[in-house]
Amino acid sequence: MSLNREQIAQRVAKELADGYYVNLGIGIPTLVANYVPEGIEVMLQSENGLLGMGPYPTEDELDADMINAGKETVTAAKGAAIFNSADSFAMIRGGHVDLTVLGAFEVDQHGNIASWMIPKKLIKGMGGAMDLVAGAKNIIVTMTHASKHGESKLLKECSLPLTGVNCVKKIVTDLAVLEVKDGAFHLLERAPGVSVDEIISKTAGKLIVEGDVPEMSFD
């Protein structure tokens, strides 16, 4: 079976390491905050001006003034700092973010990402994505492997306007975990019950499959 949103976020959380400064984009990436592994300390950054973002609040913790970049209510972790967006983007542009997790419309085999607009559709703006993919040391994309029409989102070349070039390192989809290197997607893991053949059929770009591909674990 393909992964749901929570499971994708749970798998991405396994990529976190102790001491990381991490920016979580809107959508599935924000759910990663709920699955930070025990025994490590990471500082989650929200580009609207919060360093030290905690998990989503319970009803008792709800504070309408404490929001992330997606305007969702969040909590602040111990040691958190609040500042203006100019300082936030100085952190991002200065290369102080170890990992950015964000969604995308398309990713291609060269690590290019298209995530900010679809021509002729209404958009509010590009947000901070272009700064994030240019400034972070590592980029992980979360997305569905194919569109609702069955068209692959992992392509030879992106067809939509690019957000960043040669920047994506890893992709976690509802079907697989893939690494982007040497001009190809390399299949690392597959979702439980998903066959390699299905992943191959839904990957339009160059896909490298070596040996037995293990199923994902969430421990």
Active site includes 47? yes
From the list 47, 59, 189, 210, the catalytic residue is 47
CB 53 within 8 A of CB 46: yes
CB atoms within 10 A of CB 34: 13
Give the residue from 30, 174, 185, 187 showing the smallest Cα distance to 100. Answer: 30
The DSSP secondary structure of 88-119, one letter per residue, reads HHHHHHTT--SEEEEE-SEEETTS-EE-S--T
Rounded-to-integer distance, Cα 102 and Cα 79, Å = 24
Q: For residue 155, what is the enclosing H or E element? A: strand 154-155
What are the helix (H) ranges across the chain?
5-13, 85-93, 129-135, 196-201
Rounded-to-integer distance, Cα 194 and Cα 215, Å = 8
The DSSP secondary structure of 164-180, one letter per residue, reads BSS---EEEESSEEEEE
The residues assigned a catalytic role are 47
